[in-house]
Amino acid sequence: MASRLVTAAMRSVVLFLISVILVLGFWYHAEFYQIGLTNLAIVGGLVTFLVIAAARLAISGELPKGRPVGELTFTLDEGDRILRSIATLVVRPAEGASLPGVGQVVRAKYETGPEFGRLQIVDARRSYLSDLSEQDAREAGFRSALELRDAAAGRWTWRPTDVVTVLRIRRLGAGR
Amino acid sequence: MTPATITTAVGILVGAWLVALVVLRGRRRWLRATYAACGLAFLVMGVGFVGIEEGFLDPAREDIVLGTMLLAYALTAILVVGLIHGETLPRGRAAGFLLLAPIPFLAYLAPSEGWTMQTAYEGNLLGGYLVLCLGLALAETVYARLTSRLYAAQSFWLSLGVVALIVGGPIYTYELQALALPITAGANFATPLALAAFALVTLQADPVPASTRLARSRWSGPSALRGGEPIVFEETRPKYAVRAATMEAARGRPTMVIARTSPPLTTSGLVTGTILPNRHAALRLLTTASEFLADHPGGLVVLTGFADVVAMSGRLRTFEAAIRLKHVCKDTRSTAVFSTSRLSDSERRSLKDLRLTWWSLPDPAREIEAILSQSFGSGAPHLLEAFCRAHGLRHEDVSTDHVPAVIAFLQRTVAELTGAVEGGAGHGLKVQVEAASSVLRAFADQDASEASRGRWPSRRPAEADRELLVTAAEYWKGKEMEELFAAADAVGDREPLYEKARAVFVEELGDAGEGVLRTQIARLGKKPEDLEKGDIVRIADRASVDLATLADVVDLPKEKDRLQRQVDEIRLRLERIVREDA
């Protein structure tokens, strides 16, 4: 809760600073151009609109980097393995949930709700469940492919012919 | 030097570095050339400004700077359009280059009309042309941003570059005019920023490197895959897609396979591209395919890693790439094949909604089993299982390429069995094997187009099979089919270990595989016929070490990766043979 307040406060400060700069800019140009209130309102309104639109575009597009765009939930055991950097692979059913793409940052949460970190997706591929190798299972923090399938059986109805998405992750740090 | 000339000089250096970077790293010939031309025009413009300001260039030569300014802005518009519609340049968007046509006319009129650098952005024909160029570029990026998921990120950077040029060019000039300050005509201080944004997009959308380079050529000839459209191969694993690529390449058709990992064996004339883990994978898939098809009209691109791209870039971006590729196919009379392997059911349904040509294809393993069932009844699954065990294969890995090996296996098995049975029964079994072999060959000879018609062995009415089964049972004079094929199962297991290992090495490494296996056997001091299970384990270990060393020596990451996967697959299959044999 406190972190959200800090984030909201920081965003508000940035927005306020942009607004101050815009007002100063209008005053400066109004002084030099002597363009009158009506023209200033139209031109100023247009510029303000463009600046806000550009800021929205930047936030929704490329900038800032590392902004989380979704979340992945884990059991306590899985979360623990990720925190200890034992697991670098996450296997999820391809059907149903919307999964993040490569390069995106997601919030890593326990099933019970709390966020325990941020993860960056560095690779993603599709595989049949039956094609997951022992190496994949070890990288996902399990001793064998069988154990991986068994562990997830409680959460999803696994069949060997099911398609899964295999995400390679990089931990970015503790949750805020 | 004034701050303006210092800033411009630094911008020139940055711009020159960016031009060199794109020229050296870029893989799209047309865009690389356009970027270089655009970048050089801005650089000449900057040099002209610095030269006139600092007095080492005759002010009378301002006309040259004005000409390069016109060229720079026109090329900016062409470059932006090219970066968004690169897959159709220069064929589909050649009209874009018409933007250059007014330049000689405007340059000719400039002296008589009194157009100079200082008045370039004023309300005259020249200013209108410059505004048109920048406006066109901006409109294109905004349109791409609003309508395209695939180019959303790129359109942001392109917008940034174009807006920077507008602010650094006309707006800054109007500002100086309004403030009654000397106009820094001929320089656009935003040039490095704009060139950096364009370079970023150019490199983000660069095609993936191809395994080999084919000579540019147009292809026409008989083909199982008609040109001018993309075809979706609905199949569990991309067996028919890979086979189609191999067959078309063998016909001499320029063919490229784009996959997540490089294929273990490459057919002569087949180009492969490996998709790297990247958020722009869908865009790079599109540019790779379109660049290949632009160079080889009438060619074929097979996308076996389509599902992986969906996982990397998302469904909407990847499907948009598919739609854009459809237009490329139409323009170049080429074919693109999308494999639905490993797509989820909902993704498959969404892809179907795109109304692309859709071919539903059978699973060869299932069909081979169905053919065997028609001749051998319920013993068929055991027979195929025995074959898979002997070759260290999984059931789902069996493809039409394995049909000759299946037939050879059947013949060996039946040859063993017929010694144990008498007269008509042995003859009958041979007839059955011949019949099954004939159907298997006919099935294997079917290309994807024929297979998509749906006349699959597994869909044949049961009545016909029943008739055949009765005949087979009669040959066996009342013996139970199950028992007989359990015996065949055992015969399969008795296949020499050397043959099993040889099949694995040859399938993974090609003809050279047998030589590798023989070397390993020689190092054990044994003969092929004396091999035991323990030897197979040792061969697996030694081959892994030797081939892994070879992989380490290879300095090409892609080839290294391919070799490593071959090593892993050989080891896995040899271990499977030993395990199944135990």
Mutation target to probe the B interface, by most B beta carbons within 10 A, among A39, A98, A163, A164 is A163
The reported pLDDT for the residue numbered B500 is 75
Report CA torsion sign: B376, B377, B379, B385: positive
Q: How far is B258 from chain A (nearest CA, A)?
A: 14
> Which among A33, A124, A128 has CB closest to B311?
A124
Gap between the Cα atoms of A2 and A9, Å rounded: 10
Specify whether the CB–CB gap between B127 and B120 falls below 8 A.
Answer: yes
The reported pLDDT for the residue numbered B158 is 93
Gap between the Cα atoms of A25 and A27, Å rounded: 5
Gap between the Cα atoms of B47 and B31, Å rounded: 24
Whether A101 contacts chain B with CB within 8 A:
yes
The reported pLDDT for the residue numbered A124 is 92
pLDDT greater at residue B87 or residue B96: B96
The reported pLDDT for the residue numbered B480 is 46
Alpha-carbon distances of B359 from A157, B90, B174, B337, rounded to whole Å: 29, 32, 60, 10
| Contact at CB, A163 and B343, closer than 8 angstroms | yes
Mean local confidence (pLDDT), B247-254:
87
| Contact at CB, B279 and A101, closer than 8 angstroms | yes
Specify whether the CB–CB gap between A141 and A81 falls below 8 A.
Answer: yes
Q: B11-33 burial string, b = 16+ CB within 10 Å, else e?
A: bbeebbebbebbeeebbbebbbe
Strands of A89-93's sheet, edge to edge?
A: A68-74, A105-110, A115-128, A163-173, A89-93
The reported pLDDT for the residue numbered B525 is 75
Measured in degrees and rounded to the nearest 5, phi and psi for residue B426 equal -65, -45
* pLDDT tens digits along B121-135: 777 888 888 888 999
Beta strand A68-74 with A89-93 is: unpaired
| Contact at CB, A124 and B344, closer than 8 angstroms | no
B297: three-class secondary structure by DSSP = coil
The CATH 1.20.1070 domain(s) of chain B lie at: 3-204
Kindly state the percentage of chain B with pLDDT values over 90.
20
- The token pair at B544 is 């892994």
Gap between the Cα atoms of A99 and B566, Å rounded: 30
Specify whether the CB–CB gap between B255 and B285 falls below 8 A.
Answer: no
Whether A95 contacts chain B with CB within 8 A:
yes
Segments in chain A below pLDDT 70: 1-4, 7, 30-36, 39, 53-67, 173-176
> Which among A57, A95, A103 has CB closest to B279?
A103
Task: Using CB atoms within 10 Å of the CB of residue B270, give its burial: 0 to 12 exposed, 13 to 18 middle, 19+ buried.
Answer: buried
Mutation target to probe the A interface, by most A beta carbons within 10 A, among B171, B312, B340 is B312
Query: Element (H or E) spanning A168, and its range?
Result: strand A163-173
Whether A102 contacts chain B with CB within 8 A:
yes
The reported pLDDT for the residue numbered B478 is 47
Beta strand A105-110 with A115-128 is: antiparallel
Give the range among A1-5, B44-48, B137-141 with minimum mean pLDDT.
A1-5
The CATH 3.40.50.300 domain(s) of chain B lie at: 229-360
* pLDDT tens digits along B495-520: 667 777 777 777 777 767 777 777 77
The reported pLDDT for the residue numbered B463 is 47
The reported pLDDT for the residue numbered B252 is 86
Q: Residue B494 pLDDT more than 80? A: no
Residue of B237, B579, B240, B576 whose CA lies nearest to B394: B576
The reported pLDDT for the residue numbered A126 is 92
* pLDDT tens digits along B272-315: 888 888 889 999 999 999 989 888 888 999 999 899 999 999 99
The reported pLDDT for the residue numbered B88 is 63
Kindly state the percentage of chain B with pLDDT values over 70.
85
Whether A33 contacts chain B with CB within 8 A:
yes
Q: How far is B66 from chain A (nearest CA, A)?
A: 29
Residue of B296, B307, B178, B134 whose CA lies nearest to B235: B307
Q: Which amino acid is at B330?
A: K
Query: Element (H or E) spanning B381, and its range?
Result: helix B380-391
| Contact at CB, B313 and A99, closer than 8 angstroms | no
Chain B residues within 8 A of A102 when measuring between CB atoms: 277-279, 281, 312-313
Structure letter (DSSP) for residue A159 = -
* pLDDT tens digits along B373-419: 877 777 777 778 878 877 777 888 888 888 888 888 877 777 766 66
Whether A134 contacts chain B with CB within 8 A:
no
Tally C-beta pairs within 8 A across A and B: 65
| Contact at CB, A122 and B346, closer than 8 angstroms | no
Residue of B69, B101, B74, B83 whose CA lies nearest to B169: B69
Beta-carbon contacts of residue B149 (< 8 Å; ≥ 6 apart): B314, B316, B317, B320
| Contact at CB, A61 and B153, closer than 8 angstroms | yes
The reported pLDDT for the residue numbered B305 is 86
The reported pLDDT for the residue numbered B485 is 62
Gap between the Cα atoms of A83 and B516, Å rounded: 44
B480: three-class secondary structure by DSSP = coil
Beta-carbon contacts of residue A126 (< 8 Å; ≥ 6 apart): A94, A163, A164, A165, A166, B307, B308, B310, B311, B342, B343
* pLDDT tens digits along A80-89: 888 888 888 9
Q: How far is B322 from chain A (nearest CA, A)?
A: 18
Q: Residue B139 pLDDT more than 80? A: yes
Q: Is this prediction's pTM over 0.90?
A: no
Chain A residues within 8 A of B144 when measuring between CB atoms: none
Q: Which ranges of B446-532 would DSSP assign to H, the alpha helix?
A: 448-451, 462-475, 481-493, 497-509, 512-524
Alpha-carbon distances of B322 from A14, A174, B148, B205, B506, rounded to whole Å: 41, 39, 13, 15, 36
Chain B residues within 8 A of A61 when measuring between CB atoms: 152-153, 156
CATH number of B3-204: 1.20.1070
pLDDT band at B193 (very low <50, low <70, confident <90, very high): very high
Q: Residue B34 pLDDT more than 80? A: yes
The reported pLDDT for the residue numbered A175 is 44
| Residues of chain B in Cβ contact (below 8 Å) with chain A | 145, 152-153, 156-157, 159, 178-179, 236, 260, 277-279, 281, 307-308, 310-314, 342-347, 396
* Fold type of domain B229-360: Rossmann fold (3.40.50)
| Contact at CB, B179 and A101, closer than 8 angstroms | no
Q: Which amino acid is at B178?
A: A
Closest residue in A to B280 (Cα–Cα): A102
Q: Which amino acid is at B119?
A: T
Q: How far is B332 from chain A (nearest CA, A)?
A: 31
ipTM of the complex: 0.74
Residue B224 has, within 13 A of its CA and on its CB side, a CA count of: 21
Whether A56 contacts chain B with CB within 8 A:
no
Q: Mean pLDDT of all residues in chain B?
A: 81
State the residue for tokens 């009342």: B478
Alpha-carbon distances of B132 from A175, B117, B125, B129, B171, rounded to whole Å: 49, 17, 10, 5, 14
